[in-house]
Chain A
Amino acid sequence: MLLELQNVCLELKRNHKYVKILDEVSFQVNQGETVGIVGESGCGKSMTALSIMRLLPEKAKLKGTIKLEDEDVTKFSKKALEKVRGNKLSMIFQDPLTSLNPLHTVGKQIEETLMLHTDLTKSQRKQRVVELLREVGLPRAEELVHEYPHQLSGGMRQRIMIAIAMACNPSLLICDEPTTALDVTVQAQILELMNSLKKMNEMGIIMITHDLGVVAEVCDRVIVMYAGKVVEQAGVKELFQNPKHPYTKGLIESIPKLGERKQILGSIPGTVPAPDKLPSGCKFADRCSYAMDTCRRKMPPMVHITNEHSASCWLLEEEEGEQFVTSGSKRIETTLHH
């Protein structure tokens, strides 16, 4: 086991009071595996990543355990965190332009990671930087070292971010919407690069995205989050073919699919509730067309459908799933109002 989150809860201070951002989040990532975390804005997917990195705001309250190779990251001292970040555990972010320091050269930014975590001499580091630039598919690496982020294109910048993250051969790479700010043709380049790096390095990857297309493309397993909770997790094929949670189904029905024309798209009525205005029972109940009384009263437990597939919904608990699954997809409401 590379990474294991158990009952991770996170509270952040918003407008002078603490608000629950993550609620009992548990999942695992194995070596060499790519796990996708999907959900809409505000579902807590980015905060999950920042919790693993321990890059949270100062007054954050983090509970539960986050085990990275059997060490609990939540108990790490500042020093221990500095040692693991950028080394065993690295992360790339959504917007490569703002995520790179505008005043440092590309070479300096990659070299910094090597300087912090390896014993390489200055000339060895310089050499390694050039190698890394080549590994992420950048041309004219020797010159690029002396250039600044603003001189590069969006795709090149994201490759630089990947080079920084890969510098110390991490065991776990967290990618937070790595292609969202990029054009489709460039996104395709970056996804291809990530797939090839994964094959080479045997690392675990957490891929955070709102784009189900990206998930289908690169992930082995998927975690669906809604309002700070994990609502479903399954292998990628299973999830797309046999989604169990009404939210997952709604999400899949909502996206227009290339090569497929429908008159009306499926949609989920309403919007994601604000974290300080969450309903008491199932967080999705207000938008769910199957919601029952129980849903509004009590939080549904995580039901294991198979070894690999689990979802948190009362329907699965009470009806053993079967009936719901067969009739489910047809009943997704296509609403214009609300």
Chain B
Amino acid sequence: MDALRYIIKRILLMIPILFGISVLTFFISNTIPGDPARLAAGPHADAKIIEELQEKMGLNDPLYVQYGRYMKNLVQGDLGTSNYSHQPVMEDIKQYFPATLELTLFSMFITILIGIPLGVISASKKDKLADQFARVMALIGVAMPAFWLGIIFLLFFYLQLGILPGSGRLDTGLAPPESITGMYTIDALLTGNWAVFNSAIIHLILPGITQAAVTIGMITRMTRSSMLEVLNSDYIRTAFAKGGSQNRVLYGHALRNGMMPILTLLGMTFGHSLGGSVLVESVFSWPGLGRYAVNAITYLDFPAVMAVTILIAVLFITVNLLIDILYQVVDPRLNYD
């Protein structure tokens, strides 16, 4: 029950944070120069139409009234209507966010699958060939700009070899699966649509690896340094003294003890990627949240900007909470107080 109390406490703590964020974004975006009504009306609209629009959009009310109205709607699940797409923002988010979530989950999956073992090997073979190799790979991954790596991948795997698709989420001609989660791979699995599943996976590969390159590098290095510290501990010596093999000690004793900083970093990159990686999404024409956000900012689409900001904040806080709960699963010494 301690765990439940802790989680409820943390969720309640989210409220003031979100309130602060919403106030900040709302007032900042409303004080930047630029008139949403004019943008919505188009460049050739006359003054009268703009005035009418301003009145209709409530732009003439004092800011706090506008904010109050916005929050009231928000609580009811209404994020307003996009000034650009003329759709409810909620609909836009439902469309773009799953794409980003899918890409992020996929790249995190690759990161964990490659980054952590590479880091463990690096630490156990410190200063040997394997470690040097991992060090160079990590450095390349971190140092290479994502858009550049993306373009190289496109040139090679798409244009040159033609074995992997270069843009979008599905082959042209395939209809997206019935939307359950909005993530094509998962929806395809749930509906048993294998053709769509295959296509969706194949489309994930290049953007996924591009996005994972940086995080693999960071996770490898973090795992290595965390493991090196742990491998010096007395209980590792005890584990060897019991007759444990190298692998048993590394993966059975050391890794879990070295997990804390790795979890922290994973959480941060996960939260960060959920906001959508503009560069990767642009290079691979991935219809994700990052591109949506950039568009919204360019067109002073305030409802969309607000929605994206609040969504990212909620995601970040949620991921952080998940990581904190994971800490306590990993380490029994941390209790829920």
Contact = CB atoms under 8 A, between A and B. Distances in A.
Interface string B163-206: 00000000000000000000000000000000000000000000
| Interface of B, helix, strand, loop or mixed by DSSP | helix
Contacts of A205: none
Interface in A89-136: 90-91, 93, 95, 98-104, 112-113, 116-117
Given A99-B238, A100-B235, A148 B332 contact: yes
Interface string A285-304: 00000000000000000000
B237 A99 contact: yes
Contacts of A322: none
A237 interface: no
Interface in B239-253: 239-246, 253
Interface residues of A, number: 29
B242 A85 contact: yes
A98 B235 contact: yes
B244 A112 contact: yes
Contacts of B237: 55, 93, 99
Contact of B257 (A83, A87, A95, A102): A102
Contacts of A86: 241-244
Contacts of B246: 78
A164 interface: yes
Contact of B241 (A85, A98, A103): A85
Given A148-B332, A148-B333, A150-B333, A99 B242 contact: no
B326 interface: no
A238 interface: no
Contact of A82 (B233, B234, B238, B245): B245
B243 A164 contact: no
A98 to B, nearest CB: 4
A104 B331 CA distance: 9
A82 B244 CA distance: 6
Among A55, A95, A101, A102, chain B packs the most CB atoms within 10 A around the CB of A101
Given A103-B257, A148-B332, A150-B333, A98 B234 contact: yes
B256 A103 contact: yes
A55 B237 CA distance: 7
Contacts of A117: 243
Contacts of A78: 245-246
A102 B243 contact: no
6 contacts: A53-B241, A98-B235, A99-B237, A101-B257, A148-B333, A164-B242
